């Protein structure tokens, strides 16, 4: 029997786009709620109709001979998950309201899920989803990106650099400079690492965090086996300032 991957969320959240891509990569069967409703000419979105539809999806999924089956439907009712019994649940939490007021009213945010996606970034969402389903194994001989910084603290701009790096290369080593209590660097390596690990929990096997010396220069000879490259970010993200974040944290008495 195929392992069922449920991609759920409000209409317009990006379920179908992700499901179609995943099904192609995994060579999986794919059940799309609208296609199935159209096939059976059943557009009843009452409670009874919604439960009838999920029973139909369950019946069709049982016919799959593939290793994986991808199903995308809104799944507004908790009972649907109990009926469908998915192997993994991916919640597309990319919008707060859909264009269907009635669906907005009945949709219940899931209490339990394996992956919550909050941004419409298909490259990153594919990586997260595939890692959830198949897993990822770190290997030192695979191409790897090096990120080096103080990260006082780690913030959204750093995450954006990480996401671009992991999407392009696959895995990342993050070196945190040993600058705690030198100048305006209030966070210990232990705390910085905790921030990073928590923020990147959906990429847990694609990065490693190490303490580095207070590196101030990078020298190289005529030719090296790596590239030193600046990642282009939007001006909004580039304007994120760790200095301003520290100032705000001090104002709120969260750090000294």
All structural domains of the chain, each given as residue ranges with its CATH number in brackets, are 3-134 (3.40.50.300), 145-251 (3.40.50.620)
Q: Could you give the CA distance from residue 34 to residue 219 in angstroms, rounded to a whole number?
A: 58
* Residues 200 and 128: beta-carbon distance below 8 Å: no
Coil/strand/helix, residue 253? coil
- pLDDT value for 141: 96
Print the SS3 string covering 138-182: CCCCCCCEEEEECCCCCCHHHHHHHHHHHHHCCCEEEEEECCCCC
Measured in whole angstroms, the distance separating CA 61 from the mean position of its chain's CA atoms is 25
Q: What is the pLDDT of residue 227?
A: 87
Helix (H) / strand (E) element for 192: namely helix 189-199
In angstroms, rounded to a whole number, what is the distance separating the alpha carbons of residues 90 and 245? 32
> Could you tell me the pTM of the whole model?
0.90
User: Per-residue pLDDT for the chain (256 aa), expressed as one digit of tens each?
Assistant: 899 999 999 999 999 999 999 999 999 999 999 999 999 999 999 999 999 999 999 999 999 999 999 999 999 999 999 999 999 999 999 999 999 999 999 998 999 999 999 999 999 999 999 999 999 999 999 999 999 999 999 999 999 999 999 999 999 999 999 999 999 999 999 999 999 999 999 998 999 999 999 999 999 887 888 888 888 889 999 899 999 999 999 999 888 8
């Amino acid at each position: 029997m195929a392992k069922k991957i449920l991609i759920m969320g409000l209409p317009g959240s990006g379920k179908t786009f992700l499901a179609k891509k995943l099904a192609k990569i995994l060579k999986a069967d794919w059940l799309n709620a609208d296609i199935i409703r159209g096939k059976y000419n059943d557009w009843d979105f009452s409670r009874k109709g919604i439960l009838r539809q999920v029973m139909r999806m369950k019946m069709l999924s049982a016919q799959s001979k593939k290793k994986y089956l991808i199903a995308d439907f809104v799944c507004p009712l908790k009972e649907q998950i109990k009926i469908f019994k998915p192997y993994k649940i991916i919640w597309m939490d990319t919008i707060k309201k859909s264009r269907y007021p009635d669906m907005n009213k009945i949709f219940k945010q899931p209490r339990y899920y394996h992956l919550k996606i909050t941004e419409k970034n298909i490259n990153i969402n594919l990586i997260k989803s595939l890692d959830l389903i198949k897993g990822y194994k770190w290997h030192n001989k695979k191409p790897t990106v090096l990120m080096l910084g103080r990260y006082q603290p780690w913030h959204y701009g750093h995450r954006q650099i990480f996401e671009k790096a992991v999407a392009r290369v696959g895995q990342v080593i993050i070196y945190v400079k040993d600058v705690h209590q030198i100048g305006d660097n209030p966070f210990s390596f232990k705390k910085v690492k905790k921030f990073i690990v928590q923020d990147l929990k959906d990429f847990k096997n694609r990065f490693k965090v190490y303490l580095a010396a207070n590196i101030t220069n990078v020298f190289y000879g005529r030719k090296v086996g790596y590239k030193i490259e600046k990642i282009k970010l939007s001006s909004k993200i580039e304007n994120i300032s760790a200095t301003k974040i520290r100032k705000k944290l001090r104002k709120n008495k969260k750090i000294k």
